[in-house]
Amino acid sequence: MADSTGPISLTVHGAAGRMGRRVVALGMTDSSFHLVGAIDHAQSDHLGKDAGSVAGEAPSGVEISSTWPTLGDQTGPQAVVDFSLPEALDDCLAHCVKVGSPLVVATTGLTDEQKQRLSDAAASIPIVWAPSMSLAVNLSMKIAEQITAALKDVSGGLDVEILERHHRFKADAPSGTALKFGELIAGQLGESTTHVHGREGHTGARTREEIGYHAIRVGDNPGEHTIVFGMLGEKIELNVAASNRDCYASGALAAAKWLIQENKGPGLYSMFDVLGMSDN
Ligand SMILES: NC(=O)C1=CN([C@@H]2O[C@H](COP(=O)(O)OP(=O)(O)OC[C@H]3O[C@@H](n4cnc5c(N)ncnc54)[C@H](O)[C@@H]3O)[C@@H](O)[C@H]2O)C=CC1
Ligand SMILES: O=C(O)C1=N[C@H](C(=O)O)C[C@H](O)C1
């Protein structure tokens, strides 16, 4: 149970997708949650089908729909978990603000304008937003910051390159996680850091200030990031890899529980907050 008022009424946005299905499946087996809504695109082939069945589980009694569930006079806690597409997020945000629902946003590839709308919405509802809901990835981000802080002034200079590998279906590049690693590492390196996406042709020698990003798309890889800290004479490679998508799905559900159990007010929270890894 999420708290004394009973299980969290869970709505999954993007429920028919690769991630949405895993959130539905894990949410159904967790007594802290009661699945009440499964939203997907109005043109989805899965509209009208049972969300549990689409997820490969027992029927849930909840059909995949393009309209939001009406929770009526139910007084228990509710939460929305979003794994969809950037262009789908605005409607989801508007709905959550309208009904006052806590929201977990996992979708990546957001525009600057969308990030601003997320911040604006967080003035009225609690939102967890993170490019990776994985414990191992978030811990690796903290380790990457520490390695950078320790090596940034190393004799001969430090070169940081970020390699990410994902399944062939991924729509955005580089991954939201790679960008977040880069942002955190740049925070340690300093303001003159530049971000270089791939290299081709006569690029000249690498500068000390740049972070390089390389996006690999292969098969069914559920997500892997390697941060290379190269020096003259030696290197460190920090590798974090998912074996399947459940690290993200269970992280998102943990974030929804955290919002409810900690009784979080309006605000924009990160997985560092959820995992107790924030600096402040
Ligand atoms: N933060 C994290 O830990 C993770 C984030 N992601 C991100 O989550 C997102 C989804 O990833 P996948 O599940 O692999 O993609 P997917 O393409 O399999 O699923 C997206 C789902 O959203 C649905 N959708 C599209 N338009 C919609 C609309 N207007 N309303 C409702 N649903 C709509 C699609 O029909 C589809 O079912 C991506 O941005 C991905 O990068 C993925 C894994 C982990
Ligand atoms: O699309 C994916 O699959 C993933 N997307 C996220 C990202 O862009 O960082 C997180 C994870 O790596 C899987």
The domains found in the chain, sorted by start residue, are 8-133+245-275 (3.40.50.720), 135-241 (3.30.360.10)
Termini Cα distance of the chain: 29
User: Do the beta carbons of residue 127 and residue 121 sit within 8 Å?
Assistant: yes
| Nearest residue (CA) to ligand 1, atom 16 | 17
Which-ligand-closest: CA of 11? Answer: 1
Cβ of 152: how many Cβ atoms within 10 Å? 16
Atom of ligand 1 nearest to the CA of 172: 41
Q: Tell me the C-alpha distance between 12 and 35, whole Å.
A: 8
Place of tokens 């003259």: 232
Q: What is the pLDDT of residues 217-268, one digit of tens each?
A: 999 999 999 999 999 999 999 999 999 999 999 999 999 999 999 999 999 9
Q: Tell me the C-alpha distance between 92 and 144, whole Å.
A: 33
| Nearest residue (CA) to ligand 1, atom 2 | 132
Ligand 1 contact, 131 CB (< 6 A) = yes
| pLDDT, position 279 | 84
Q: Which residues are annotated as a binding site?
A: 14-19, 106-108, 130-133, 167, 176-177
Element (H, E) at 161: strand 159-166
Helices then strands, counting H and E runs in the chain, come out as: 8, 12
Kindly state the tokens that stand for 234: 């030696």
264 is catalytic: no
Total-model pTM:
0.97
Atom of ligand 2 nearest to the CA of 108: 8
Q: What is the pLDDT of residues 45-98, one digit of tens each?
A: 999 999 999 999 999 999 999 999 887 766 689 999 999 999 999 999 999 999
Kindly state the tokens that stand for 73: 């006079």
In the chain, the percentage of residues whose pLDDT exceeds 70 is 97
What was the ipTM of the complex prediction? 0.99
166 is catalytic: yes
- The mean predicted confidence, pLDDT, of the chain is 96
